[in-house]
Amino acid sequence: MTKRYCIFTVFQGLTLLFLCNNSYAQQAKIKSNFEIARKAIESSNRIYFQAFTKGDSSLVINRYTEDCWIMASNTPTLCGIDAPLDFFKVAYHELGIRNGTFKTMKLYGDAKEFVTEEGLFEFFDASNASLINGKYLVLWKHTPKGWKMFRDSFNPDRLK
């Protein structure tokens, strides 16, 4: 075995070790980002329904980006900075929503800039009777203010 071959073999081994270690570090970073996103989404979802319990639209408004789209079934898409308030007014005053639940089934994405949440929802009235339940997809965007809903699409399985 020549000296040149030995050096080449050692160099290959070190390169492989470096690449494996770098890949592991990147996977750990993605997992860490994903857990941060998951916790932020869970927290935001808890705060969301406090808006209806308290009658405080600002709690809904702060869940969304300023360029959001809210895409409920059988209605025009609400877009932009006024969309969350417009949605809250209809949900609170016309539908009578006073509480609800989100059940995240799965999260997808790179957790750097975007994460997609797939889940189930249920909305309740003031007497805690079920009004609407269904499924949703939310595209969350990482902003300087944290994780916010960028695209919110949902449709009911049934209406009361």
Residue type (1 letter), 98: R
In the chain, the percentage of residues whose pLDDT exceeds 70 is 79
Which residue ranges form the domains of the chain, and what is each CATH number? 3-159 (3.10.450.50)
60-75 pLDDT per residue, tens: 999 999 999 999 999 9
- pLDDT 10s digits, 73-84: 999 999 999 999
**pLDDT above 50 for 126:** yes
pLDDT(35) > 50: yes
pLDDT at 32: 82
**Least confident window among 14-18, 41-45, 59-63:** 14-18
Query: What's the pLDDT tens digit per position in 127-138?
Result: 999 999 999 999
Q: Is the pLDDT of residue 24 over 80?
A: no
Length of the chain counted residue by residue:
160
158/19 Cα distance (integer angstroms): 52
Q: What is the DSSP string of 7-27?
A: HHHHHHHHHHHHHHHHHHHHH
Q: How far apart are CA 26 and CA 39, in angstroms?
A: 20
For the segment 4-23, the average pLDDT, to the nearest whole number, is 53
**Phi, psi torsion values for 98, nearest 5 degrees:** -125, -5
Question: Angle at the Cα of 151 (from 148 to 157), degrees rounded to 5?
Answer: 115
**pLDDT at residue 70, as a whole number:** 98
Q: Mean pLDDT across the chain, nearest whole number?
A: 87
- Check whether 22 has a pLDDT greater than 60: no
Res 68: pLDDT = 98
Q: Cα 109 to the chain's mean position, in Å?
A: 10
Mean pLDDT on 23-49: 80
pLDDT at 14 over 50: no
**Residue with the larger pLDDT of the pair 18 and 109:** 109
Could you write out the DSSP letters of every residue in 90-155?
A: IIIIIS---EEEEEEEEEEE-SSSEEEEEEEEEEE-TT--EEEEEEEEEEEEEETTEEEEEEEEEE
